[in-house]
Amino acid sequence: MRISFHGAALGVTGSCHLLEACGKKILVDCGLYQGSRALRDENLRDFGFDPASIDVLLLTHAHLDHCGRIPLLVEQGFNGEIITTAATLALVQLVLEDTARLQEEEAERAQRHAARGHKHFRADAEPLYDSQAVARALHLFGRRAIYGKPIPLGEGLVATFRDAGHILGSASILIAAQEDGKPRRIVFSGDLGSRYHPIIRDPELCPEADVVVMESTYGGRHHRPMPETVREFHDAINDTVARGGNIVVPTFALERAQEILYGLREAHEHGRIPSGLRVFVDSPMAQSAVAIFRRHPECFDPSTRTVLETRDPFDLPGLTYARDRIASKAINDVRRGALILAGSGMCTGGRVLHHLERLLPRPECAVIFVGYAANGTPARKLIDGAGTLHLYGQEVTVRARIYTINGFSGHGDQAGLLRWHQGSGSSARTFLVHGDPEALTAMQTQLEAKGHPVTIPQPHEAFEL
């Protein structure tokens, strides 16, 4: 029995882990590297294994850094079954189709500029993959996982998906393997959510295990309690509106946008934000994701299900969806009293860049970050206090107020990760992935102090189990 790590090793993105057991090769996740260009170039490199040799791919959830390389995997020979939850499949289709479209548009734009003699663009630019590749990948999705229901993968192999409480349909995965008469239990955490968040349920604790592969995104940090986080968010909104400005919230289209809308509806109902606040969701993907959320109430926590019985939990007065670019540009006419949700959350592309270009120079405006920002991304530069930001070929001066409110994070903090890990038992061998080096080391220190053997794997490093 062997495990190897081909993504999110000593880094946050690109999750991809390979388990070889009982004569089968099982891949858990196949995500894109995101962040600086050096990281993105990793997507073009060899996987570190033969894609054609993989028997089955188990997908924990629909975030791009966990599913975004699946079309490349298929193009390079993978022809096995992909297993995930029904909600994740619905979101994956949305995410991959949108990603392919954006890559196609970017390649076309680069070719057009190169033809005009712009030296910074390549005439031979091509998308990482196209819409046809996505269609071929989606064809391989097979059985739908149901939380708690075992799925046979082959003789001596069973996988069980458990609610990870991260985004809609997200899962941790327990693989029970019986090889040479010796039973082993291996758990892949996927991304783990925080407790007390609205909409979806809290993460289930780790089951008893021999081996645990655990994410450590916030392994060295503690989130502010949710009530304090919500108050800080409302204060930032109220202060900006009082100054006569607008607010832009760089938002991931999956989960974070829906969670913010849910919270804004509650705040409006209780009079905690200005009654005349206009809310714009400038993200077609976020709008489509809201529709998917409404179709999967089986993932909701009891309080959200109760709301759903009487009203739309994601709707509030003054809410407008900007479906096309014309509607997006029309937001420019609103000079004050607007809150704009736009992607991408790390400001690496998308419509949020257009709004940042307009609002960053205005001191009465604000940018509120409510999620993780990887090193090297424009979001991280703003959070770290950059005085200017390079947008559309020019340096834009930063005069707007920058808020960072991490309590909304969809990832569990150090205390949450340790709480989850407790269920594994006292002797579980733990591999830490999906974290910056500082976060990985902090989590390693905490777990080793509790007596757990801990390893931080190098990229493509393999271990006998």
Query: What three-state secondary structure class fits 288?
Result: helix
- Which position has the token pair 């892949």? 188
Q: Are the beta carbons of 206 and 172 closer than 8 angstroms?
A: yes
- pLDDT tens digits along 439-452: 999 999 999 999 99
Tell me which amino acid residue 32 is: L
Q: 180, exposed or middle or buried, with CB in 10 Å at 0-12, 13-18, 19+?
A: exposed
Strands (E), 203-307: 211-215, 247-250, 278-282
What are the domain boundaries of the chain? 2-221+410-464, 226-408
- pLDDT tens digits along 106-121: 778 777 777 777 766 6
User: Do the domains at 2-221+410-464 and 226-408 have one common CATH topology?
Assistant: no
Strand duo 278-282 + 211-215: pairing: unpaired
pLDDT at residue 226, as a whole number: 85
- pLDDT tens digits along 247-256: 999 988 888 8
Q: From CA 322, how far away is CA 272, in angstroms rounded?
A: 25
Q: From CA 369, how far away is CA 359, in angstroms rounded?
A: 14
pLDDT at residue 408, as a whole number: 83
- Which position has the token pair 């229901």? 149
Q: From CA 325, how far away is CA 355, in angstroms rounded?
A: 12
pLDDT at residue 40, as a whole number: 67
H helices of 270-369, where? 284-294, 302-308, 325-330, 352-359
- pLDDT tens digits along 407-448: 788 899 999 999 999 999 978 999 999 999 999 999 999 999
Lowest mean pLDDT among 39-48, 260-269, 333-342: 39-48
What average pLDDT does the segment 211-227 reach?
92
- pLDDT tens digits along 23-42: 999 999 999 998 766 566 78
Query: What three-state secondary structure class fits 42?
Result: helix
- pLDDT tens digits along 174-209: 999 998 888 999 999 999 998 888 889 999 999 999
Strands (E), 157-302: 157-163, 171-179, 182-188, 211-215, 247-250, 278-282
pLDDT at residue 80, as a whole number: 98
User: pTM higher than 0.85, yes or no?
Assistant: yes
CATH topology classification for 226-408: Rossmann fold (3.40.50)
Architecture per CATH, domain 2-221+410-464, reads as 4-Layer Sandwich (3.60)
The partner residues of 320 in beta bridges, in order of sequence, read 280
- pLDDT tens digits along 274-304: 999 999 999 888 889 988 998 998 899 988 8
Element (H, E) at 445: helix 437-449
Percent of the chain with pLDDT over 90: 72
Tell me which amino acid residue 270 is: H
Strands (E), 77-205: 81-85, 141-145, 151-154, 157-163, 171-179, 182-188
